[in-house]
Amino acid sequence: MTDGGDCLVLMPTGGGKSLCYQLPSLLRDGCGIVVSPLIALMRDQVEGLLDTGVKAAVLNSSLSWEEASAIEQRLLAGDLDLLYIAPERLLTPRCLELLSRARLALFAIDEAHCVSQWGHDFRPEYIKLSILAERFPTVPRIALTATADELTRSEIVSRLKLDGAPRFVASFDRPNIRYEIIEKQNAKSQLQTFIAERHAGEAGIVYCLSRAKVDETAASLASAGIPALAYHAGLNAAVRARHQDRFINEDGVVIVATIAFGMGIDKPDVRFVAHLDLPKSIEAYYQETGRAGRDGKPADAWMTYGLADIVQQRRMIDQSTGKDAYKRVSAGKLDALVGLCETAGCRRLRVLEYFGEAPGQPNCGNCDNCLSPPRVWDGTIVAQKALSCVYRTGQRFGAGHLIDVLIGNSTDRVAQLSHDQLSVFGVGAELNEKQWRTVIRQLVGLGHLQPDSEAFGALKLTESARSVLKGERKVMLREQAAASATRKRTTKGKTSKRDSTSAPASPAVAGGYKKLSDSNLLSALRSWRTSIAKQRKVPAYVILHDATLEGIASSRPTTHDQLRTVAGIGDKKLERYGDVLLSLVRSAAS
C-alpha cells in the first residue's frame, strides 16, 4: 500500500488489520479515509489513535454541524492523518465533492464482507462503494475483513473493482480461543452454569436469535447475580447506547444481544462468546466468536445446539424472498455449520478447512473434541429404524411424534393416527427419548433427513437415506457426552493444572506474562486506569490493555527504559503515563 497499489486483506479479529491501513496512511502523503460501518467502532479507534499521537477524526451523524465543519476544514488543510467515515455519509454528493478537493493517501474499506450478498452481514450501501474506483482512480484502495470464504472473496473483488489486486490472507487460526459445542437441554441454565463456573466477573457476549429471547436471557442472568444487559434493535436508541457504553467501559459486564451487536467492537478483554441459537453459517460463527480474546489471552467460544435450531434455520431459508441460487448457497453454508457441530474430530480443523487453510496438525488441543474425544459407534441399525419410522408415518411429523412411535409410547395422537399399528411402533425401545433425539439430530446433520419447508417441524427423507435403508451405507454416530470435560476456571480466572499442559499457550502466556489477579500492584494499576479512563471519558483499554498492566505487574520496572520494554508501552504512552506508572510500582514495593 505504501507504493500506491490496491489489495484485499483477510486477517482474523485482533490480527492487526487496522495497522494495514494506519501505517500506509502515516507514511504516504495525504489523509487516509477509512470507511467503517459503525459509529462505536469509529469513536473507539479514533480515541486510541489520538492517545498515541496520530491526528485522527471521524465524520458521522453524532457530530454537530459546527464540529463536522471544523473536521472538514482540517481535512482540506492537510491537518489529518486518518479520517473515519460511514459509507452512507461518504456516498453523499457533498462528501464526495469534499474528498475530491482533499489530498488523499488511500481508501480503506473495513468490514468488506458487508459488500457480499452471500455473506452474513450484507449491507446494500457497501455495493455502491465501487464509485471510489471511478471517482478516485489514482487513490489506492484496500478492502479488509476478518472472515470470507472463497465465494465472498470473489464478490468483494468484483463489486469493489479490485480485479488483479493482490490478496493477502493471514491464518484464520485463533489458538487462544477454545471451541465448545454442547447439546441444548436447558439453555438458560446451561449458560448460567458456564458463566458462574468459568467466567464469573468477566466480560462476555451472549448471542440469541430473537429480541424476545435476548430480553428473557438478560433478565435470567441478572436474576442469578450476573451483571447482564440486553441489546437489540427493538430497544430505545439511548438505552442501546447506554448498555454498549457500560459493556465497553466497565469490567465484567455481559451483553446479551442479537447479531446486530459486536461488529467493530474493539474491546480486547472479552473472555467468552456464547451462542444460545445456531448462527447462519461458519462465517457468522467465526466472526462472532472472534470478538472474544482479542488481547491474545485465553477465551471461550461456547454454543448450545439442538435439532430445533436446524429446523428453524432451514425454515428461515426456505421461506425467505431470496432467489433459488441464494437459497442453495445459504443451505450449503448451514450444512457446513451443522457439520462443524456434529463432527467428532477437531473443530478448529473444520473451521480452518472451511476457509481453505490446511492446518499443520489434526489435533489442536484446545477444543472440546480434542480435549475429550467423543466415542463414535456404529448407528446404522438405529438409523434405519429412525428413517423407516419417518417413511412409514408419511414424512409429515416432527421428532417428538417420531420418538413416541419408535419407543412405543401410545399417546392420544399416536392412537388417533393408528401409528401404534405400524411395524415401526416400539421398534426402538432400546433407546430413551433423549438418546433418540440425539440420533435424529445427527441424521439431520449427516444429511439423511431434512426439515420440510412446507410443514413446520416435520422431517422427510433425503436421497442419501435410500442407501442407508438398503444397508449400502454405514452410519457412524457420536456418543453424547455425559458432561462437559473442557476447562473450568475459578472466579479469579486461574486454569487447572490439566489445562495448563493440554492447551497451547496464548501469546500473553508465551511472552512470559502470567495472570496476577491477586496482585496488589495489578489492582492499583487497574484502579488508576479506571480513574484516568473516567476522566477522559474513554474505554479503559484505550489507556492501557490488560496484558500491558499484567506485564508491568509481572516485570515491575523501575526505570523508563525498563518500562519501555513492556508490550503496549510506546513513546507516547511512556511520555504521558511513565512517571505515574513507575510511582505505582515503587509504592507497591514499599
Residue 377 Cα distances to 361, 427, 492, 575, angstroms: 24, 19, 39, 63
Q: State the distance between the two ends of the chain, measured CA to CA, in whole angstroms.
A: 50
Higher pLDDT, 128 or 4: 128
Alpha carbon of residue 312 to chain centroid? 21
The span from the CA of 464 to the CA of 462, in Å, is 5
β-sheet bridge partners, residue 35: 85, 109
Residue 297: CATH number of its domain: 3.40.50.300
Strand blocks (E) in 357-468: 376-378, 449-451, 459-461
Going by pLDDT thresholds of 50, 70 and 90, the confidence category of residue 495 is very low
Examine the pLDDT at 502 and tell me if it is beyond 50: no
pLDDT-based confidence at residue 509 (cuts at 50, 70, 90): very low
> What is the predicted pLDDT for the residue at 137?
94
Distance CA 107, CA 6 (A): 9
Q: What is the pLDDT of residue 517?
A: 41
DSSP state of 112: G
Looking at 478, 506, 532, the residue that finishes a domain is: 478
Return d(Cα 147, Cα 119) in angstroms, integer: 9
- Among 146, 169, 192, the domain-final residue is 169
Q: What angle do CA 546, 549, 552 make, to 5 degrees?
A: 150
Do the bridges between strand 141-145 and strand 7-10 make them parallel or antiparallel, or are there none, so unpaired?
parallel
The pLDDT score that the predictor gives to residue 493 is 39
pLDDT exceeds 90 at position 512: no
Do 145 and 185 belong together in one domain?
no
The H or E element spanning position 300 is strand 299-305
pLDDT tier at 515, thresholds 50, 70, 90: very low
| Domain annotation covers residue 510 | no
Dist. CA 541–CA 14, nearest whole Å: 14
Is residue 354 domain-shared with residue 266, that is, in the same domain?
Answer: yes
Q: Are residues 358 and 383 in the same domain?
A: no
From residue 523, alpha-carbon distances to 294, 307, 347, 464 in Å are 22, 45, 37, 60
Whether pLDDT at 262 is above 70 = no
pLDDT of residue 327: 84
Residue 140: is it exposed, middle or buried by C-beta count within 10 angstroms (0-12/13-18/19+)? buried
pLDDT on residue 448:
93
CB 318 within 8 A of CB 376: no
Of 169, 196, 228, the one marking the end of a domain is 169
- Taking only the tens place, the pLDDT of each residue in 127-151 is 899 999 999 999 999 999 888 888 8
Distance CA 418, CA 392 (A): 11
Same domain? For 12 and 156 the reply is yes
Q: pLDDT-based confidence at 497, cuts 50/70/90?
A: very low
502 lies in some domain: no
Q: Residue for cell digits 525498563?
A: 562
Cα 577 to Cα 569: distance, rounded to the nearest angstrom: 9
Q: Which residues contact 411 (CB under 8 A, 6 or more apart)?
A: 404
User: Does one domain contain both 279 and 383?
Assistant: no
Same domain for 160 and 272, yes or no, is: no
Rounded percentage of the chain residues whose pLDDT exceeds 70: 90
Cα(504)–Cα(177) distance, integer angstroms = 10
Distances (CA, A) of 400 to 268, 387, 438, 457, 520: 43, 14, 12, 9, 56
| Cα–Cα distances in angstroms (integers) from residue 329 to residues 201, 251, 282, 322, 557, in the given order | 40, 40, 13, 11, 55
Burial per residue of 102-139, b for 16 or more beta-carbon CB atoms within 10 angstroms, e otherwise: bebbbbbbbbbbbbbebbbbebebbbebeebbeebeeb
Task: Assess whether 524 and 427 both reside in one domain.
Answer: no
Residue 329 resides in a domain: no
Q: Are 192 and 224 in contact (CB under 8 A)?
A: yes
Q: Using one digit for the tens of pLDDT, what is the confidence trace for 200-241?
A: 999 999 999 999 999 999 999 999 999 999 999 899 989 988
For residue 549, report the phi and psi dihedrals to the nearest 5 degrees: -60, -40
Angle at 355 between CA 353 and CA 361, to 5 degrees: 35
Which cell numbers in the block locate residue 27?
Answer: 507514511
Specify the long-range contacts of residues 444-447, CB closer than 8 Å, at least 24 apart: 444/307, 444/310, 444/338, 445/310, 445/338, 445/339, 445/341, 445/342, 446/342, 446/475, 447/335
Quick: pLDDT tens for 433-471. Answer: 989 999 999 998 888 998 886 766 789 999 999 999 999
Q: Is residue 485 part of a domain?
A: no
Mean pLDDT of 242-270: 82
CA 116/CA 122 separation, integer angstroms: 6
Query: Is 524 in contact with 587 (CB distance < 8 Å)?
Result: yes
> Burial of 306 by CB count in 10 Å (0-12 exposed, 13-18 middle, 19+ buried)?
buried
367-387 average pLDDT score: 94
Q: What's the pLDDT score for residue 40?
A: 65
Say what the pLDDT of residue 552 is: 93
Name 328's Cβ contacts closer than 8 Å, sequence gap at least 6. none
Number of domains forming the structure of the chain: 4
Contact in structure between 511 and 565 (CB atoms under 8 Å)? no
Q: Which three cell numbers stand for residue 2?
A: 505504501
C-beta neighbour count of 224 within 10 angstroms: 15
The CATH code of the domain that includes 551 is 1.10.150.80
Give the per-residue pLDDT at 487: 40
The residues that bridge with 165 in the sheet, in sequence order, are none
Does the residue 47 lie in any domain?
A: yes
- Compute the distance between CA of residue 267 and CA of residue 199 in angstroms, rounded to an integer: 16
CATH of the domain at 442: 1.10.10.10
The answer to the question of residue 133 being in a domain is: yes
275 compared with 13, residue with greater pLDDT: 275
Asked whether residue 302 carries a pLDDT value surpassing 60, the answer given is: yes
Answer whether residue 486 is part of any domain. no
Report the C-alpha gap between 398 and 387 in whole angstroms.
12
362, 380: one domain: no
Q: Look up cell 417420531; give the residue.
A: 402
Q: Is the dihedral of CA 403, 407, 413, 415 positive or negative?
A: positive
Say if residue 482's pLDDT is above 70: no
Tell me the average pLDDT of the chain.
Answer: 86
- Are residue 358 and residue 391 in the same domain, yes or no? no
pLDDT at 264 over 60: no
What does the DSSP 8-state code read for residue 377? E
Q: What is the pLDDT of residues 523-558, one digit of tens each?
A: 899 889 988 988 888 888 888 888 899 899 999 999
For residues 472 and 418, state if they share a domain: yes
The Cβ-side half-sphere exposure at 564, using a 13 Å CA radius, reads 7
The predicted-structure confidence for 575-587, as pLDDT tens digits, reads as follows 999 999 999 999 8
Q: Are residues 157 and 12 in the same domain?
A: yes
Q: Please tell me whether residues 80 and 186 are part of one structural domain.
A: no
Q: Is the pLDDT of residue 518 over 70?
A: no
Residue 265 domain-assigned?
Answer: yes
Domain hosting 215: range is 177-305+343-368
Q: Provide the pLDDT for residue 119.
A: 57
DSSP string, 149-197: -HHHHHHHHHHTT-TT--EEE-----TTEEEEEEE-SSHHHHHHHHHHH
HSE on the CB side for 209, CA within 13 Å?
A: 14
Which pLDDT tens digit goes with each residue over 83-132? 999 898 999 999 999 999 999 999 999 988 888 766 556 778 888 999 99
Q: Chain-centre distance of CA 87, in angstroms?
A: 22
The answer on pLDDT for 26 being more than 60 is yes
